[in-house]
């Protein structure tokens, strides 16, 4: 196994022994937890920003992955051409299992606690654009994708699936925009920006960690200022996509609301977000953003799976929230 430079370990005050390599990271067990060291393409300014966010959050929500600082007090070290960071994870953690009802409800409560203490973030974070603006871009992307598919000398299986479902996706996006315009979304978004409300923006399995005690929410590389309902929508969407959907969406919303009260028209705003064909849009953007002479089988298979699961997903969302 390739060894980590002793200079990196020394800079983070870690012993040059008991280090194991796992998924491109070097892991060291310490008294404060598992320290994970890895190289990163992120610029030092971005790392410093994430460190500041974590320091701010940790005052009231300590269940995160703080940086282990170097002996000189920095959250990173540059050795040669590589930038390294070290983050601290809880001992004995595991990634969330979306089929485990207790873990799912615990993750919703943890998100509500995180949101409750992450107002007025004193950082120069990116401000996400409002959803109607983002959705308008999706409509443009679908139009461009349709042109690209129809211009192809010979349509691939991916093109055929895309052309077949794209009109439905357009209708769903237009419906979502109309629904949002009938709610107080614009007011809530404006308030969120003015208040400096933090959204995590990457609530997937590897960033929701279950322990014998609290649930941890880690990795703030995608954090931005935005309406925090977006995070709740993302978590419900992930649950609906990765489970047999035994917990009604309204129960998840109620669980969140019991920790951090939700604004009026929450369900209407969430529904407008959840009904969008996010997986279809993501795959389509991934495919049509590049000029291809061939279609990867993996993309075709994923598109087939996404469309096959769409009916079940929509039934869950409509049954719980419409």
Q: What is the pLDDT of residues 36-79, one digit of tens each?
A: 999 999 999 999 999 999 999 999 999 999 999 999 999 999 99
Together in a domain, 105 and 211: yes
Q: Would you state the pLDDT for residue 2?
A: 58
Please state which of the ranges 16-30, 133-147, 162-176, 189-203 shows the lowest mean pLDDT. Answer: 16-30
Q: Which of 114, 161, 94 lies closest to 302 in space, CA to CA?
A: 161
244: its two tokens:
């047999």
Together in a domain, 309 and 225: yes
pLDDT tens, 90-134? 999 999 999 999 999 999 999 999 999 998 887 789 999 999 999
Together in a domain, 105 and 206: yes
**For residue 225, what are the contacts with CB-CB under 8 A and spacing of at least 6?**
121, 125, 126, 127, 128, 192, 193, 196, 197, 198, 199
pLDDT tens, 119-177? 888 778 999 999 999 999 999 999 999 999 998 888 889 999 999 999 999 999 999 99
Q: Which of 188, 252, 177, 273 lies closest to 226 in space, CA to CA?
A: 188
Q: How would DSSP label each residue in 99-154?
A: T-HHHHHHHHHHHHHHHHT-SS--S-PPBPPPHHHHHHHHHHHHHHHHHHHHHSSS
pLDDT tens, 46-57? 999 999 999 999
Terminal alpha carbon distance of the chain: 53
Together in a domain, 204 and 107: yes
CATH number at residue 190: 3.90.1200.10
Kindly state whether residue 96 falls inside one of the protein's structural domains: no
Tell me the residue range of the domain where 11 lies: 6-91
When comparing pLDDT for 320 and 126, which is higher? 126
Q: Would you state the pLDDT for residue 321?
A: 85
Together in a domain, 122 and 201: yes
E runs forming strands in 143-239: 198-199, 208-210, 216-217, 224-225
Together in a domain, 86 and 106: no
Please answer whether residues 135 and 276 qualify as being in contact, where contact means their C-beta atoms are separated by less than 8 angstroms.
Answer: yes
Q: What is the mean pLDDT of the chain?
A: 94
- pTM over 0.85? The answer is yes
Separation between Cα atoms, residue 313 and residue 16, nearest integer Å: 49
- Residue 36, strand partner residues: 27, 87
Q: Would you state the pLDDT for residue 71?
A: 95
Q: How would DSSP label each residue in 31-57?
A: TTEEEEEEEE-S-HHHHHHHHHHHHHH
Together in a domain, 105 and 182: yes
Together in a domain, 176 and 232: yes
Give, for 248, the enclosing helix (H) or strand (E).
Answer: none
35: its two tokens:
């320290």
Q: Would you state the pLDDT for residue 284?
A: 94
Together in a domain, 170 and 293: yes
Kindly state whether residue 206 falls inside one of the protein's structural domains: yes
Together in a domain, 74 and 134: no
Residue 57 backbone class (left: φ over 0; alpha: ψ -120 to 50; beta: rest): alpha
Domain end marker among 38, 63, 91: 91
CATH number at residue 69: 3.30.200.20
pLDDT tens, 249-307? 999 999 999 999 999 999 999 999 999 999 999 999 999 987 666 667 888 899 999 99
Q: Which of 92, 134, 106 lies closest to 224 in space, CA to CA?
A: 134
Kindly state whether residue 194 falls inside one of the protein's structural domains: yes
Into how many domains does the chain fold? 2
Asked whether the predicted pLDDT for residue 1 surpasses 60, the reply is no
Q: Per residue, what are the HEC states of 96-108?
A: CCCCCHHHHHHHH
Together in a domain, 168 and 80: no
Domain end marker among 38, 64, 91: 91
272: its two tokens:
């407008």
Kindly state whether residue 261 falls inside one of the protein's structural domains: yes
Domain end marker among 91, 110, 139: 91
Kindly state whether residue 1 falls inside one of the protein's structural domains: no
Kindly state whether residue 228 falls inside one of the protein's structural domains: yes
Kindly state whether residue 63 falls inside one of the protein's structural domains: yes
Together in a domain, 155 and 109: yes
Kindly state whether residue 65 falls inside one of the protein's structural domains: yes
Asked whether the predicted pLDDT for residue 230 surpasses 80, the reply is yes
Q: Would you state the pLDDT for residue 122?
A: 75
Which residue's entry shows tokens 């996010």? 278
């Amino acid at each position: 196994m390739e060894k980590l430079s002793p200079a990196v370990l020394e800079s983070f005050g870690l012993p040059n022994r008991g280090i194991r390599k796992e998924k491109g990271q070097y892991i060291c067990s310490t008294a404060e937890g598992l320290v994970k060291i890895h190289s990163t393409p992120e610029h030092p300014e971005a790392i410093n920003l994430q460190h500041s966010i974590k320091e701010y959050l940790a005052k009231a929500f300590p269940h995160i992955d703080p940086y282990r600082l170097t002996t000189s007090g920095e959250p990173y070290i540059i050795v040669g051409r590589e930038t390294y960071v070290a983050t601290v994870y809880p001992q004995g953690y595991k990634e969330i299992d979306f089929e485990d009802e207790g873990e799912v409800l615990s993750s919703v409560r943890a998100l509500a606690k995180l949101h409750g203490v992450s107002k007025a973030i004193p950082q120069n974070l990116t401000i996400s654009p409002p959803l109607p603006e983002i959705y308008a871009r999706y409509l443009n992307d679908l139009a461009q994708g349709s042109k690209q598919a129809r211009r192809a000398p010979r349509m691939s299986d991916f093109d055929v699936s895309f052309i077949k479902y794209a009109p439905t996706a357009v209708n769903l996006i237009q419906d979502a925009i109309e629904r949002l315009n009938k709610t107080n979304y614009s007011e809530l978004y404006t308030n969120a920006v003015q208040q400096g409300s933090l959204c995590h923006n990457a609530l997937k399995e590897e960033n929701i960690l279950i322990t014998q005690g609290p649930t941890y929410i880690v990795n703030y590389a995608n954090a931005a200022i935005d309406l925090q309902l977006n995070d709740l929508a993302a978590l419900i969407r992930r649950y609906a996509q990765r489970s047999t959907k035994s917990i009604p969406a309204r129960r998840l919303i109620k669980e969140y609301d019991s920790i951090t009260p939700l604004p009026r028209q929450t369900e209407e705003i969430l529904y407008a977000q959840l009904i969008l064909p996010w997986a279809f849009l993501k795959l389509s953007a991934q495919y049509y953003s590049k000029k291809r002479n061939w279609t990867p089988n993996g993309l075709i298979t994923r598109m087939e799976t996404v469309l096959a699961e769409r009916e079940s997903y929509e039934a869950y969302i409509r049954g719980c929230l419409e």
